[in-house]
């Protein structure tokens, strides 16, 4: 237990409201993890997988109405509506707490309330941050064990008066004597994922799934942390962190912001196809970055695991993820084979002869349904990744040399563009866009602007967030700042065929970036930024037509001219909080395009 008065009060207050039958203080031990598994198996939530195929792993299927983050039920409850900005749902904090208090009243009856002290980042790191999640879900406890550092050592760092983010989560399904528990209790009618950035609180009700319920992830590490970062002069970003090693053993660290389900996990664990080059993983989803005493921007991965999208993950697309998830993992909304192993679309060319699908129904090839939900997930400890970098838990973080932005764009956006400078890079990030995927509830395949891939995750006004990005550059010398790039692996030809092979071949773009950072590769100035000069991309051994390469690196002047009004429209949303620097970057882009010969 703890002598931290405010933590004890928090637990007492919440248990008074939610009225659980029991309170369990999590110690983060293996026995505790196994207890959660047993509870889930008893409740019908989980099936233990075949030990010889997938040791110490479980298979979980959620309620079909609880399968993804719910952005329309996600709120930023700042005192002033303007502070949440145009990209967030806002609610008045007192009104929201009144609404939620009624829902939380007695919501844990018949259940156990788990107190999860967790550290985002290596416990005790100067960049790490502590939270405490109170939840009535053993699934959440087990996932938090993998995704964060949980337990007694966190309470030790917290001491008697340390600061912590208060997280409250309930599946919103109290148990009474009238019937058995549901295999996946949730409250489909009332879902609320609420953030109180000023008081560093998170109240989540009704969903047991992923980012809605594992509060350390999107809620704490991005929405609340982005506000902390603004206030304290650092950055909390939706970015992978990778280590790129050249054949001479020279190392560069790269972060990358891509919208949900754009292949961040694959890029973070990429196996380069160019002989002698290697990638190691620091993180696949979130980066917290602070300037170190040397003026370099240093990043940590605040997480301890991967909550990766399963469909499409295969030995070809991401061998390292497949190997990482070969044991001690949780598989959610995948399909299960008669032998007790897991399967999902894209895992193998050959489909299993029969399966039990994510909806608990028999499935056979050709039945016309997907066996796994498109947002099915694996939860896997980062340390199990075969290419995890030895320094991935360095409490001081790793120095970042380059920042990538990207998204899925079928046309217009070239394979890679280097920003002229930090301000131009901030502009590129602020205009980032992508065709939507299944990671969030809603329509798939529509173009949405997703600045810095933070649209669903920025806990305050995005105009102020852009200003914060710009301001960060004044904290160090320009030469010490990471270079900024915009990449697009998803450009298509007129027939809708991808022009770039992607996956391991993306190392060719990373190599160019590495060499740019070293001052060893050439680029050409274009109206939209700097692009590789012909021949600068290493294409040795790659079967790709010159026509495809020309198209991938073509600056489509007419297309970009048509893009300018769309960017203007996007910027209008931020009103007078859009920094003037971004207005002037847009005017400069327009001028350069007007002066260009198509
Ligand atoms: O909560 C979910 O359904 C998953 S969302 C998610 C999970 C891991 C990493 N990133 C994301 C995301 O939406 O960006
Ligand atoms: Mn993400």
Is the C-beta atom of 68 inside 6 A of ligand 1? yes
Per the annotation, the verdict on 186 as an active-site residue is no
CA distance 259 to 69: 13
Same domain for 360 and 400, yes or no, is: no
Task: Name the token pair of 487.
Answer: 């990449």
Domain containing residue 354: CATH number: 2.170.8.10
Say what angle helices 462-472 and 422-430 make with each other, to 10 degrees. 160
Q: How far is CA 128 from its chain centroid? A: 17
In whole angstroms, how far apart are CA 205 and each of 8, 43, 46, 109, 348? Answer: 22, 20, 21, 14, 37
CA distance 87 to 108: 32
210, 240, 330, 331, best to mutate for ligand 1 pocket (most atoms within 8 Å of CB): 210
Q: Which residue, 481, 453, 478, is CA-closest to 465? A: 453
Q: Work out which ligand 1 atom sits closest to the CA atom of 210.
A: 1
Domain containing residue 127: CATH number: 3.40.449.10
Write down which residue in 217, 232, 247 finishes a domain.
Answer: 232
Give average pLDDT by consecutive 10-residue segment, the chain, 598 residues. Answer: 95 98 98 98 97 97 96 97 98 98 98 98 94 98 98 96 98 87 95 98 98 98 98 98 98 94 91 98 98 97 97 96 98 98 96 97 97 97 98 98 95 97 98 75 75 97 98 97 97 93 96 98 98 96 96 97 96 98 98 91
Q: Quickly tell me which residue has 């259940």 as its tokens.
A: 111
DSSP state of 345: T
Res 104: pLDDT: 98
Task: Name the token pair of 423.
Answer: 């301000």
What are the b/e assignments for 540-569, b being 16+ CB within 10 Å?
eeeeeeeebbebbbebbbeebbebeeebee
Which residues fall within 8 angstroms of residue 16, CB to CB, at 6 or more apart?
none
Q: How far is CA 49 from its chain centroid? A: 27
Same domain for 94 and 151, yes or no, is: yes
Res 260: pLDDT: 76
Res 179: pLDDT: 76
Res 444: pLDDT: 65
Res 487: pLDDT: 98
Q: Total structural domains in the chain?
A: 3
Write phi, then psi, for 572 (nearest 5 degrees).
-55, -30
Which residues fall within 8 angstroms of residue 454, CB to CB, at 6 or more apart?
222, 226, 237, 238, 257, 462, 465
Q: pTM above the 0.85 mark? A: yes
Write phi, then psi, for 271 (nearest 5 degrees).
-105, 105
Ligand nearest to the CA of 308: 1
Res 438: pLDDT: 56
Same domain for 523 and 574, yes or no, is: yes
Res 311: pLDDT: 96
Q: How far is the CA of 238 from the centre of ligand 2 (A)?
A: 6
Is the C-beta atom of 375 inside 6 A of ligand 1? yes
Is the C-beta atom of 285 inside 6 A of ligand 1? yes
Q: Are strands 58-60 and 330-332 parallel, antiparallel or unpaired?
A: parallel
Same domain for 489 and 523, yes or no, is: yes
Is the C-beta atom of 143 inside 6 A of ligand 1? no
Same domain for 324 and 292, yes or no, is: no
What are the b/e assignments for 230-244, b being 16+ CB within 10 Å?
beeebbbbbbbbbbb
Q: Work out which ligand 1 atom sits closest to the CA atom of 68.
A: 3
**Residue 380: its H or E element:** strand 377-381
Residue 151 domain flag: yes
CA distance 345 to 462: 36
Q: Which domain holds residue 168?
A: 5-46+63-232
Beta bridge partners of 477: none
Q: What is the DSSP string of 221-239?
A: IIIIHHHHHHHHT-EEESE
Same domain for 396 and 378, yes or no, is: no
Residue 339 domain flag: yes
């Amino acid at each position: 237990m703890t002598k931290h008065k405010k933590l004890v009060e928090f637990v007492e207050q919440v248990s008074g409201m939610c009225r659980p039958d029991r309170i369990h203080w999590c110690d983060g031990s293996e026995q505790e993890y196994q207890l959660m598994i047993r509870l889930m198996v008893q409740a019908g939530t989980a099936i233990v997988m075949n030990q010889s195929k997938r040791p110490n792993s479980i298979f979980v299927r959620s309620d079909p109405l609880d399968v993804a983050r719910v952005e329309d039920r996600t709120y930023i409850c700042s005192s002033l509506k303007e502070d949440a900005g145009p990209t967030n749902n806002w609610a008045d904090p007192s009104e929201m707490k009144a609404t939620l208090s009624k829902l939380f009243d007695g919501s844990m009856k018949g259940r156990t309330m788990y107190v999860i002290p967790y550290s985002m980042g290596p416990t005790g790191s100067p960049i790490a941050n502590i939270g405490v999640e109170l939840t009535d879900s053993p699934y959440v406890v087990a996932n938090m064990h993998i995704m964060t550092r949980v337990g007694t050592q966190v309470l030790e760092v917290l001491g008697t008066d340390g600061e912590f983010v208060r997280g409250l989560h309930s599946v919103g399904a109290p148990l009474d004597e009238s019937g058995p528990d549901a295999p996946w209790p949730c409250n489909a009618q009332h879902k609320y994922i609420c953030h109180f950035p000023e008081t560093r609180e998170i109240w989540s009700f009704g969903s047991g799934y992923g980012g809605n319920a594992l509060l350390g992830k999107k809620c704490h590490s991005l929405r609340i942390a982005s506000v902390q970062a603004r206030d304290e002069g650092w950055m909390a970003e939706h970015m992978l962190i990778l280590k790129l090693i050249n054949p001479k053993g020279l190392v560069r660290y790269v972060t990358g912001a891509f919208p949900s389900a754009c292949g961040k996990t694959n890029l973070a664990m990429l196996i380069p196809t160019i002989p002698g080059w290697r990638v190691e993983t620091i993180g696949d989803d979130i980066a917290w970055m602070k300037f170190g005493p040397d003026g370099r921007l240093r990043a940590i991965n605040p997480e301890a695991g991967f909550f990766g999208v399963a469909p499409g993950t295969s030995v070809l697309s991401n061998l390292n993820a497949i190997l990482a998830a070969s044991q001690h993992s949780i598989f959610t909304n995948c399909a299960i084979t008669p032998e007790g192993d897991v399967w999902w679309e894209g895992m193998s060319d050959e489909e299993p002869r029969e399966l039990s699908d994510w909806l608990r129904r028999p499935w056979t090839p050709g039945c016309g349904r997907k066996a796994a939900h498109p947002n099915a997930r694996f939860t896997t400890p980062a340390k199990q990744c075969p290419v995890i970098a030895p320094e991935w838990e360095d409490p001081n973080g790793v120095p970042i040399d380059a920042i990538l932005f990207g998204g899925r764009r079928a046309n217009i956006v070239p394979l890679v563009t280097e920003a002229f400078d930090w301000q131009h890079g901030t502009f590129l990030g602020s205009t980032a866009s992508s065709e939507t995927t299944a990671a969030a509830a809603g329509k798939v395949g529509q173009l949405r602007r997703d600045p810095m891939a933070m649209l669903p995750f920025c806990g305050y006004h995005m105009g102020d967030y852009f200003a914060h990005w710009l301001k960060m550059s004044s904290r160090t010398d320009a030469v010490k700042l990471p270079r900024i790039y915009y990449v697009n692996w998803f450009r298509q030809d007129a027939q809708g065929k991808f022009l770039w092979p992607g996956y391991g071949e993306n190392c060719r773009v990373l190599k160019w970036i590495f060499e740019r950072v070293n001052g060893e590769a050439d680029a050409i100035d274009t109206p939209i930024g700097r692009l590789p000069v012909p021949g600068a991309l290493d294409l040795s051994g790659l079967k790709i037509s010159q026509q495809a390469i020309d198209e991938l690196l073509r600056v489509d002047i007419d297309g970009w001219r048509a893009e300018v009004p769309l960017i203007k429209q996007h910027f209008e949303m931020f009103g007078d909080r859009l920094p003037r620097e971004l207005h002037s970057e847009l005017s400069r882009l327009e001028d350069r395009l007007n002066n260009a010969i198509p």
